[in-house]
Each structure stands twice: as structure tokens, then as C-alpha cells.
């Protein structure tokens, strides 16, 4: 089993693994942000109950302990205010490949928190987990998400056309950005 710290920090954020009873905080943030999340996040189509959010947190906690998915919650340092969520997903431990996903609470949008979090999580993956490849995937219409990847030096490798169904069921294109050991880092 890989030794992975439960938390680490960036300049303004405490970035940590989910723990029991985080469901209420996540639920509040999702409810506040539903209009901004719905176009991009299939899980935001129907806003979960507090109980459903807690079940999701507990599932994420178990996945973190199993090292099968590393969901991370973003808190404003020195507070219990949830700024958003991120994590390392679709993990391939043999290849040391990770995908970073993220969303920000509406009241914290456009303040650089996600860029800061993704930069810290990328550094964590490179330095602590010896990542060889880090990906960011987003809908090709999600300009704000793509700008995060571009600002942090991720390279657009390509766009997969008609790759996934959108939240409304129509086909969408997915942009794939990456950073690769030996090219973009180290």
C-alpha cells in the first residue's frame, strides 16, 4: 500500500482527504453552485440530499484508503469553509498516471483557488507519488477549465470528438491536456 499523506497545503488552501461528516459541507457547496456545475458535471443534474452527499464522502474515504481514487477537498486555510473539490482519479499505479478533476464553489470562483489547488496537487503527484503523467480532461466548451490547464503548463494533446455523452445526452468533445515527466517536469 502506498503511503500518502492525508493533507497538504498551498498558499491559501488546506487540501485534504475526505473524512466522515464532510457530506454536509459538500452538499452546501454543491447546492450553492448547482447552476455552474450542471453543464459540466453529470452528478450535478440532480442535487443530492445531505445523506447522499455523506454516502459519497464515505465511499470516497474508502477509495482513498484503498488508493483506488484520491478525492481531495479544498478548504480555506484556518477555516472549515469548503472552497471546492479536486483529486487524482483514473489512477494507474504501474504507469504512475493520474487525472486531476476539479470544481469550485460559486462564491469562490474567479479568485484563482482552482489554479492554486491544481498546481499544488500536481506538485504533490510529481514529488510524493512520482507521477510520470498527469492529465486534465474537460469538455471542449468548458473554457474556464481549459484555462486552468493552460495556465499551469499542461499541453493540449488533442480533442476526442463525440467521446462522451453530455449531461443532456448529446455527444460532446473532450479535450485532453497533460504534463509528462521528462518533458514538462523534471
Q: What pLDDT, on the 0 to 100 scale, is given for residue 43? A: 65
Tens digits of pLDDT across the chain (186 residues): 568 999 999 999 999 999 999 999 999 998 887 878 666 676 667 888 999 999 999 999 999 999 999 999 999 999 999 999 999 999 999 999 999 999 999 999 999 999 999 999 999 999 999 999 999 999 998 899 999 999 999 999 999 999 988 877 889 999 999 999 987 665
Measuring CA to CA, how many Å separate 176 from each of 51, 65, 96, 154?
A: 34, 28, 17, 9
CA-based nearest residue to 103, from 148, 69, 62: 148
- Phi first, then psi, for residue 48 (nearest 5°) are -75, 160
Amino acid at each position: 500500500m502506498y503511503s500518502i499523506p492525508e493533507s497538504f497545503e498551498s498558499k491559501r488552501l488546506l487540501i485534504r482527504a475526505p473524512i466522515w461528516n464532510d457530506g454536509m459541507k459538500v452538499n452546501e457547496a454543491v447546492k450553492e453552485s448547482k447552476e455552474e456545475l450542471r453543464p459540466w458535471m453529470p452528478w450535478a443534474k440532480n442535487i443530492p440530499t445531505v445523506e447522499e452527499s455523506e454516502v459519497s464522502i464515505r465511499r470516497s474515504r474508502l477509495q482513498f484508503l484503498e488508493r483506488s481514487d484520491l478525492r481531495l477537498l479544498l478548504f480555506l486555510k484556518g477555516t472549515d469553509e469548503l472552497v471546492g473539490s479536486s483529486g487524482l482519479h483514473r489512477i494507474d499505479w504501474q504507469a504512475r498516471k493520474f487525472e486531476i478533476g476539479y470544481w469550485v464553489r460559486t462564491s469562490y470562483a474567479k479568485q484563482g483557488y482552482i489554479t492554486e489547488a491544481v498546481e499544488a496537487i500536481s506538485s504533490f503527484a510529481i514529488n510524493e507519488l512520482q507521477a510520470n503523467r498527469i492529465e486534465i480532461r474537460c469538455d471542449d466548451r468548458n473554457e474556464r477549465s481549459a484555462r486552468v490547464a493552460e495556465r499551469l503548463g499542461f499541453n493540449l494533446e488533442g480533442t476526442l470528438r463525440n467521446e462522451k455523452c453530455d449531461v443532456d445526452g448529446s455527444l460532446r468533445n473532450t479535450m485532453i491536456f497533460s504534463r509528462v515527466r521528462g518533458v514538462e517536469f523534471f
